[in-house]
């Protein structure tokens, strides 16, 4: 796939770094249990490197919250989970997600979904997943799908978890526990594909140009990051958006010639990703002592896979493994409709989401990658920092 715009915006986002793209391969084996098992043969995952993993985000990292919400954005049916021993769980993947793999590298089981009634007591000690499919930075994003936990609601849900944790440990111990936990935030994609790029449903593209809209998102994001810091979290991994102009759902609009991405969509993401990198630098400038914020260059890492699929063992980059319509991207995976058989050769699982093979690569690049992938340090280095 010719993704010229992918490379262009990657270098704009990472212009402060002089390092070249560093390729990191990772196996894509499925996990057993609730995330434990992915990569557990790696020495890096032999012991927990953080007290907990708190996950905030959208369907890229949702592991079942929407199962319990009145939403049409669900994935708790076959063929989702076809390559997992767990079967369909609410993960928008053929198997494991970025959270499963990153958690395994950190030696932490993928945390349970907040909305599951059984997520209480000792189950929350390893962290909680608040991510919700169709959720965005803006409260109104994705509302046409029904109920979802927006970023602001996910922060409120985290406060609810804190109330439980306060009954389980002293104030001093809770502060120490939170300072050693890692917060992962994956937002922004829905604010574009399920808001800004849907002018028939949302007025945002009429009210804001791309730079103004990015600033709106970043201002909302910044407030919630500060709120999470004020609640005691100290280690943050904030992921940028991937090249949405290359996903099957956007390709299905027919706005790009064969073999190319929709450049306009990728270009409007530039101000957001560049701004998010700048926001991380601002948060690290001393105004939030005893903390570290890390920017995950999803756009660059995913763009590298799309530009060099053979290097990673992929053959199909422009359509989903399951789905209906042009590029298998008009309608996402239908219940009980068999997916493609050669799933490890596909970059995209459905109209919007990557296969577990891609998530395995992205997670390892986040964990151990160079500053072009994760800035200013990677997740492995972040876990080693002691703020107490």
Rounded Cα distance between 241 and 221, Å, is: 13
Please name the residue that has the structure tokens 């919250």. 65
Instruction: Note the Cα 58 to chain centre separation in Å.
Output: 7
- The number of beta carbons lying within 10 Å of the beta carbon of residue 117 is 6
Rounded Cα distance between 265 and 112, Å, is: 33
Q: What are phi and psi of 245, to 5 degrees?
A: -70, -5
**Token pair recorded at residue 201:** 């449903």
Rounded Cα distance between 161 and 141, Å, is: 24
Please name the residue that has the structure tokens 């890692």. 182
Q: What are phi and psi of 177, to 5 degrees?
A: -60, -45
Active site residue 22: no
Active site residue 93: no
DSSP β-ladder status, 292-296 and 374-375: antiparallel
Rounded Cα distance between 70 and 72, Å, is: 7
69 touches 115 (CB < 8 A) = yes
Active site residue 353: yes
Catalytic hit among 353, 359, 364, 373: 353
Catalytic hit among 350, 364, 373, 375: 350
Q: Please name the helix (run of DSSP H) or strand (run of DSSP E) that holds residue 375, with its range, or none.
A: strand 374-375
Give residue 328's region: left, alpha or beta (phi > 0; psi -120 to 50): left
Please name the residue that has the structure tokens 């990658």. 369
Catalytic hit among 30, 34, 58, 59: 59
Give me the active site residues, please: 59, 350, 353
């Amino acid at each position: 796939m010719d993704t010229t715009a992918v490379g262009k915006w990657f270098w704009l986002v990472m212009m402060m770094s002089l390092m070249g793209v560093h390729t990191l391969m990772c196996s894509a084996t499925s996990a057993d249990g609730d995330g434990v098992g992915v990569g557990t043969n790696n020495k890096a995952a032999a012991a927990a490197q953080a007290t907990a993993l708190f996950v905030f985000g959208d369907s890229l990292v949702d592991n079942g919250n929407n199962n319990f919400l009145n939403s049409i954005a669900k994935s708790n049916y076959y063929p989702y989970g076809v390559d997992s021993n767990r079967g369909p769980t609410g993960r928008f993947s053929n198997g494991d997600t970025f959270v499963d793999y990153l958690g395994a590298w950190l030696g932490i089981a993928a945390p349970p979904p907040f909305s599951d009634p059984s997520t209480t007591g000792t189950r929350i000690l390893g962290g909680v997943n608040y991510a919700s499919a169709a959720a965005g930075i803006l409260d109104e994003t994705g509302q046409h799908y029904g109920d979802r936990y927006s970023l602001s609601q996910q922060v409120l849900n985290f406060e609810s978890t804190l109330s439980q944790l306060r009954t389980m440990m002293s104030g001093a111990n809770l502060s120490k526990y939170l300072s050693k936990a890692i917060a992962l935030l994956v937002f922004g994609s829905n604010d574009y594909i399920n808001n800004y790029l849907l002018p028939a449903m949302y007025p945002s593209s009429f009210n804001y140009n791309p730079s103004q809209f990015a600033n709106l998102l970043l201002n909302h994001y910044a407030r919630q990051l500060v709120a999470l810091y004020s609640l005691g979290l100290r280690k943050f991994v904030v992921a940028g958006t991937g090249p949405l102009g290359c996903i099957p759902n956007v390709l299905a609009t027919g706005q790009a010639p064969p073999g190319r991405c929709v450049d306009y969509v990728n270009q409007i993401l530039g101000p957001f990703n560049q701004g998010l990198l700048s926001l991380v630098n601002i948060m690290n400038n001393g105004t939030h002592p005893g903390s570290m914020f890390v920017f995950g260059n999803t756009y660059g890492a995913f763009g590298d896979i799309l530009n060099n699929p053979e290097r990673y063992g992929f053959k199909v980059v422009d359509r989903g493994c399951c789905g209906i319509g042009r590029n298998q991207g008009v309608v996402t995976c239908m219940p009980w409709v068999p997916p493609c058989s050669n799933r490890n050769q596909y970059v995209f699982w459905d109209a919007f989401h990557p296969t577990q093979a891609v998530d395995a690569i992205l997670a390892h690049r986040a964990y151990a990658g160079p500053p072009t992938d994760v800035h200013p340090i990677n997740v492995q280095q972040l876990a080693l920092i002691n703020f107490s």
